[in-house]
Chain A
Amino acid sequence: MAKKRIELMVCAGTGCVAGGAFPIMDELKKELKTRGLKDEVSVVTTGCNGFCGQGPLMVVLPDNIFYGWLTLKDVPHLVEEHFLKGRPVQKLMFTPPEEKTPIPLLSDIPFFKKQMLIVLRNKGIIDPEKIRDYLARDGYVALEKVLFSMKPGEVVEEIVKSGLRGRGGAGFPTGRKWELTLRQERTPKYMIANCDEGDPGAYMDRSVLESDPHSVIEGMIIAAYAVGSSQGFIYVRTEYPLAIERMKIAISQAGEYGLLGKDILRSGFDFDIEIREGSGAFVCGEESSLIHSIEGSIPEPRQRPPFPAVSGLWDSPTLINNVETLANVPVILTKGADWYSSIGTETSKGTKIFSLVGKINNTGLIEVPMGITLREVIYEIGGGIPDGKKFKAAQTGGPSGGCIPAEMLDSPIDYESLTKAGSMMGSGGMIVMDEDTCVVDVAKFFIQFTNDESCGKCVSCREGSEALLEVVTRIADGEGKEGDIAFLTELSETIKDASLCGLGKTLPNPVLSTLRYFKEEYEAHIKEKRCPALVCKGLTRYYIDPDKCVGCLLCRKTCPVGAVLGESKYVHIIEQDKCTKCGQCIEVCPPKVTAVKKVTGNDMEELEQLTETVLCAERRKR
């Protein structure tokens, strides 16, 4: 047989590659050859599948069987059982936690069922390093339509009609930005794709570049045609080597096929793309800083107006769009603005990719229609919270966003609803928190990040974030005082008002949002010296319950600083001034015993007294 009867679509996004996807692919090829199957079964490299928590993974086509948590050792058995003898291997399939029956088909797995793929339409089906695969999926059909049967103004009109909004974070109407740029008469004009995705935990743009780089190229060419640009740049952060490599290959292949460069498709339209790499500055995700970075100046934002559309790169009219926004463009042109605007809500059209991470069973990247509720995302797609813990809040928008608490689980996810709730869409990070997450700790984490990444130009952002961090840290360490909450609120509002760019303007959001919904948790830290989630080290102690301890010596042997006193069959005691709160003792205490626990607040005083008594008085024998 010349054609293959089975295709193994192996995920080779950065996550799975880090997990060992390439050695697994080599092993598969080797084993298939040994078994005489190499002409019947092909091994295909694909981009990110999305179900990252299950990686390394692959999908067997045409059956659509999903295999996850693959290791090298699994390969020989898998090849023999499934590909030679036709018997799919159950133990490699996805089984929901707490359940026994695996779900063989990808289309039946809840994580995938409610997703709607527009941007990620080609994921798992194409090899991102083969332009022919992209062509087969109607790639560059939109470009042909645009170049030969549409005027630039008509293209802009279609994007305006579609209701597409910027997917980088601010949600500005894309069509309006294109219109503004088209209207400029000065030349040359530039087109920039922003892939400086900096939010911690967000990797949607990386996934688009690694899985379907041509979708971005096609989007860029169409955008350039619409506004009248002939030179484009893709600004990618250096921390994305695989994305950069795949984009380089795609650009080179597109050039070879006459789809990029001079006289594209012999239409007379010229457009070329250069890659520029970032250098580790979060602020470069902000458009004016990004432009300065390309120019070779210090990446600091500047006053707007003038907006980049009027005066941007080298003072020329510049259109700058996010990667995910651009990947939507070819589909809008082929399927039509009416179709696109029929998806989503009144003000937020289309779909959005979210990176669903944190305290959630099904971790990974999901693409869902705007307007889906948080409850559907967390429980139906995400599979709920692990270990039966209670949902506390979902943090959206990364360091610029805020928390959506449990009472708002039924709110729709769209730009306006999230902003009204005190958060924002942002680039699509969605960090799920449960009862064991401390909101003060979360706020501290994000302020630490933005304080570190502040470019330093504005006093309000530079000094303001420093002051915010100092106060939040004090509260987390148990040294909060009366007046701190009022100070945090006032300072936050001031930073928002006085800062020049999005980084400064939104950095107080995690503080404001957590104060809005979880004020009692801040108050517990300040007034009661208590961390309800038992996270903040300054406010928690580790304590061995003398009624439960069986004197097995396990924690004493594990403790890295020798803080556990005890002998075999004698109740163990933790010396608080030596304890570093590493948590090892809780991990090793046998499940049937569970004598070690964390305490906070009033309980800490009681246990200090108890420890004194026990230490000084008789040692109890078990």
Chain B
Amino acid sequence: MPRLTVDEIKKMREESKKEISLREGNFRGKVIVHLGTCGIAAGAREVMDALFDELERRDITDIMFTSSGCAGLCSKEPMITVEVGASPPVKYGKLTAEKAIKILDEHIIGNHVVEEFAIGMGSERIG
């Protein structure tokens, strides 16, 4: 490998930063795709794949993308929860890949809750 210049190292550094962005934890928001057996049966994995691929395609690295088990409201699956900044989490239901991407555009990027797909805002009490 030829001796690298400062600029080449800089470029490599920028690329590598993107590769490990998942580990750094600099997130301004969070998307949780609800899986569990019911979720998967309803098609949550397709929603998850589409959403994740779209985040990757648009090079969005400041949103934490994760999954969880069943949220409880099985009849409304596939479901996702979106939390941006300090706003309370919003639960969306009966989703498809296109609806999820609309939520990505309007809520995750645009910061407007997509009311037509939203089920509720906030979380349950614990204890």
Determine whether B73 belongs to the interface, using a CB cutoff of 8 Å to chain A.
no
Known contacts: A86-B36, A144-B6. The answer to whether A256 contacts B20 by CB under 8 A is no
State the CA gap A267–B64 with chains docked (Å): 40
Contact between B19 and A1, CB atoms less than 8 A apart? no
| Binary CB contact string for chain B from 12 to 41 against chain A (1 if under 8 A, 0 otherwise) | 110111011011110100000111110110
List, in ascending order, chain A residues with CB within 8 A of B67's CB: 5, 86
State the CA gap A266–B7 with chains docked (Å): 11
Contact between A5 and B52, CB atoms less than 8 A apart? yes
How near does chain B come to A108, taking the closest CB pair, in angstroms? 14
How near does chain A come to B126, taking the closest CB pair, in angstroms? 11
| Binary CB contact string for chain A from 1 to 40 against chain B (1 if under 8 A, 0 otherwise) | 1111111010000000000000000000000000000000
State the CA gap A161–B95 with chains docked (Å): 58
List, in ascending order, chain A residues with CB within 8 A of B69's CB: 85-87
State the CA gap A183–B5 with chains docked (Å): 31
Contact between B39 and A265, CB atoms less than 8 A apart? no
Known contacts: A1-B56, A135-B16, A136-B17. The answer to whether A258 contacts B4 by CB under 8 A is yes
Determine whether B106 belongs to the interface, using a CB cutoff of 8 Å to chain A.
no
| Binary CB contact string for chain A from 231 to 265 against chain B (1 if under 8 A, 0 otherwise) | 00000000000000000000000001111000101
Per the 8 Å Cβ criterion, residues 54-72 of A in contact with B are: 61-64
Least CB separation from B14: chain A residue:
A136
Of listed A7, A85, A139, A144, residue having the most chain B CB within 10 A: A85
Determine whether A125 belongs to the interface, using a CB cutoff of 8 Å to chain B.
yes
Least CB separation from A134: chain B residue:
B16
| Binary CB contact string for chain B from 50 to 61 against chain A (1 if under 8 A, 0 otherwise) | 001100100000
State the CA gap A3–B56 with chains docked (Å): 7
List, in ascending order, chain A residues with CB within 8 A of B105's CB: none
How near does chain A come to B58, taking the closest CB pair, in angstroms? 12
Contact between A258 and B3, CB atoms less than 8 A apart? yes
Determine whether B65 belongs to the interface, using a CB cutoff of 8 Å to chain A.
yes
State the CA gap A138–B24 with chains docked (Å): 12
Secondary structure at the B interface, as helix, strand, loop or mixed, is: helix
Least CB separation from B44: chain A residue:
A86
Determine whether B68 belongs to the interface, using a CB cutoff of 8 Å to chain A.
yes
List, in ascending order, chain B residues with CB within 8 A of A7's CB: 22-23
Interface residues contributed by chain B, number (CB under 8 Å):
37
Known contacts: A140-B9, A257-B1. The answer to whether A133 contacts B20 by CB under 8 A is yes
Contact between B3 and A263, CB atoms less than 8 A apart? yes
How near does chain A come to B43, taking the closest CB pair, in angstroms? 14
Contact between A265 and B22, CB atoms less than 8 A apart? no
State the CA gap A550–B59 with chains docked (Å): 73
Determine whether A620 belongs to the interface, using a CB cutoff of 8 Å to chain B.
no
Determine whether B49 belongs to the interface, using a CB cutoff of 8 Å to chain A.
yes
State the CA gap A9–B5 with chains docked (Å): 31
List, in ascending order, chain A residues with CB within 8 A of B64's CB: 62-63
Residue A86 contacts which of B4, B24, B33, B53 (CB distance < 8 angstroms)?
Answer: B33
Determine whether B66 belongs to the interface, using a CB cutoff of 8 Å to chain A.
yes
Residue A62 contacts which of B1, B36, B48, B65 (CB distance < 8 angstroms)?
Answer: B65
List, in ascending order, chain B residues with CB within 8 A of A139's CB: 13
Determine whether A132 belongs to the interface, using a CB cutoff of 8 Å to chain B.
yes
State the CA gap A266–B4 with chains docked (Å): 8
Contact between A266 and B22, CB atoms less than 8 A apart? no
Least CB separation from A124: chain B residue:
B23
Contact between B65 and A5, CB atoms less than 8 A apart? yes
Known contacts: A85-B36, A85-B69. The answer to whether A266 contacts B23 by CB under 8 A is no
How near does chain B come to A97, taking the closest CB pair, in angstroms? 22
Least CB separation from A44: chain B residue:
B23
Contact between A135 and B25, CB atoms less than 8 A apart? no
Q: Can you give 29 contacting A-B residue pairs, CB < 8 Å?
A: A1-B53, A1-B56, A3-B22, A4-B22, A5-B48, A7-B23, A61-B22, A61-B25, A62-B25, A62-B64, A62-B65, A62-B66, A85-B40, A87-B35, A87-B69, A88-B68, A125-B24, A126-B20, A132-B12, A132-B19, A135-B13, A135-B16, A136-B16, A138-B13, A140-B9, A141-B13, A144-B6, A257-B1, A257-B4
Q: Which residues of B contact A (CB under 8 A)?
A: 1-6, 9, 12-13, 15-17, 19-20, 22-25, 27, 33-37, 39-40, 48-49, 52-53, 56, 64-69
7 new A-B pairs (CB below 8 Å) besides A87-B36, A135-B12? A1-B53, A5-B48, A5-B52, A5-B66, A85-B69, A125-B24, A258-B4
Q: Which residues of A contact B (CB under 8 A)?
A: 1-7, 9, 61-64, 84-88, 125-126, 132-133, 135-141, 144, 148, 256-259, 263, 265-266
Q: Which 3 A-B pairs have the closest CB atoms?
A: A86-B35, A136-B16, A86-B67
